[in-house]
Amino acid sequence: MLVGKVVGTIVSTRKNEKLVGSKFMVIEPIEKLGDPNNKFVAIDNVGAGIGEIVLVATGSAARIGCDQQTAPVDAAIVGIVDNGIGLPEL
């Protein structure tokens, strides 16, 4: 699981039918917990917004976490961070 910050959104009107209705967010890993230069896109089923710190599951855990086991999902926001002890300055 990764900790990242939502820095943008992606709009896609044409996509795999299993992703219709899904919201896509651009995630920047938190510095020191991941490479902040490696932004990626994650599906969002928890209602995260730009600027929020989120927990992201990747790989097969992402599909399970967003209840889309047969969808082409590699990263999913599974939680929004309220606070965290030991996290770098948010």
Interatomic CA distance for residues 61 and 26, integer angstroms = 18
**Residue pair 75/27 in contact by the 8 Å Cβ criterion:** yes
Q: Per-residue pLDDT tens for 67-76?
A: 677 778 889 9
Interatomic CA distance for residues 81 and 25, integer angstroms = 16
Q: Per-residue pLDDT tens for 11-70?
A: 988 888 888 888 999 999 986 655 556 899 999 989 999 999 999 998 888 877 666 777
3-state secondary structure 1-48: CEEEEEEEEECCCCCCHHHCCCEEEEEEECECCECCCCCEEEEECCCC
Residue 26 has, within 13 A of its CA and on its CB side, a CA count of 10
